């Protein structure tokens, strides 16, 4: 019964238009794998976010140093994707101007800008995690089943790394790691593109997983 109620809430949430709140970030460095710790820092300041459906938190982009850290730049942003609903947006706005402590690193957030999602034919997620699926082909089949369940028609591509293998990723949550894969979805119509950007795939959406963004047109599909 509780699960059915949650599914109904999630379906109702997906019927709303989605937006992205983009906060400027002031800071020097972050751990390359910071999804869980970023979510923990945000939830400490905005505890009600734990109970909300439909909120995704993207990891912050930066330049990797090859030793487990990223260097932040003026282009680095904290992006929170959520339904365009005043009650949900009001839960996130208190982050403006706040200092987040992530391990030994500190960042300060600016005033957010709000952007609507835009439909594009090709989307990419840096990492998608689906419980119990840690091998490429079974993972791809499980991802396809999730698309089918949402009524999304598209083509799935597992991008390859420089060794010619599917780009396997992992995130650390407390003392254990969760394995996933980068995923590209192509041949989307406008409605399905917006639906996938709103719903995502797999789990851990508040830790940077399963969130889809437009694929740069000049990106080579075979490399991460």
Give the burial class of 111: count Cβ atoms within 10 A of its Cβ; 0-12 exposed, 13-18 middle, 19 or more buried.
exposed
Q: Is residue 77 part of a domain?
A: yes
* CATH code of residue 97: 3.30.70.1890
Q: Is residue 13 part of a domain?
A: yes
Q: What is the mean pLDDT of each run of 10 residues along the chain (224 residues)?
A: 47 76 98 97 93 93 94 97 94 96 97 97 97 96 98 97 92 94 98 98 97 77 36
Q: Is residue 64 part of a domain?
A: yes
Sequence-distant (6+) residues with CB within 8 A of 168 are 136, 161, 179, 180, 181
pLDDT of residue 1: 47
Residue reference for tokens 């400490």: 44
Q: Are 84 and 100 within one domain?
A: yes
Domain range for residue 208?
123-214
Q: Are 79 and 107 within one domain?
A: yes
Q: Are 94 and 144 within one domain?
A: no
Q: Are 77 and 60 within one domain?
A: yes
Q: Are 184 and 105 within one domain?
A: no
Q: Are 111 and 96 within one domain?
A: yes
Q: What are phi and psi of 136, to 5 degrees?
A: -55, -55
CA–CA separation, 59 vs 10, rounded Å?
23
Sequence-distant (6+) residues with CB within 8 A of 136 are 158, 166, 168, 181
pLDDT of residue 14: 59
Total number of domains constituting the chain:
2
pLDDT of residue 221: 39
CA 19 centroid distance within chain: 13
Q: Is residue 224 part of a domain?
A: no
Q: Which residue, of 61, 96, 116, is where some domain finishes?
A: 116
Q: Are 98 and 165 within one domain?
A: no
CA–CA separation, 184 vs 160, rounded Å?
11
Q: Are 72 and 129 within one domain?
A: no
Q: Are 156 and 101 within one domain?
A: no
Q: What is the pTM of this model?
A: 0.88
pLDDT of residue 5: 40
Q: Are 92 and 172 within one domain?
A: no
Selection from 89, 111, 98, 103 nearest residue 36 by Cα: 103
């Amino acid at each position: 019964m509780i699960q059915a109620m949650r599914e109904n809430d999630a379906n109702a949430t997906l019927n709303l238009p989605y937006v992205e709140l983009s906060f400027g970030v002031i800071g020097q460095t972050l751990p390359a794998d910071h999804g869980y710790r970023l979510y923990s820092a945000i939830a400490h300041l905005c505890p009600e976010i734990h109970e909300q459906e439909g909120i995704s938190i993207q990891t912050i982009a930066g330049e990797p140093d090859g030793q487990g850290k990223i260097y932040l730049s003026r282009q680095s942003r904290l992006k929170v994707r959520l339904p365009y609903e005043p009650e949900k947006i009001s839960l996130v706005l208190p982050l403006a101007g706040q200092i987040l402590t992530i391990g030994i690193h500190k960042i300060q957030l600016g005033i957010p800008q709000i952007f609507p999602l835009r439909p594009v034919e090709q989307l990419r997620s840096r990492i998608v995690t689906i419980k119990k699926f840690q091998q490429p082909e079974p993972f791809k089949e499980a991802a396809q089943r999730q698309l089918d369940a949402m009524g999304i028609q598209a083509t799935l591509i597992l991008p390859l790394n420089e060794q010619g293998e599917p780009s396997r990723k992992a995130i650390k949550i407390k003392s254990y790691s969760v394995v996933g894969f980068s995923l590209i979805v192509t041949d989307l119509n406008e409605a399905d593109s917006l639906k996938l950007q709103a719903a995502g795939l797999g789990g851990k959406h508040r830790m940077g997983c399963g969130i889809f963004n437009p694929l740069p047109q000049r990106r080579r599909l075979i490399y991460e």
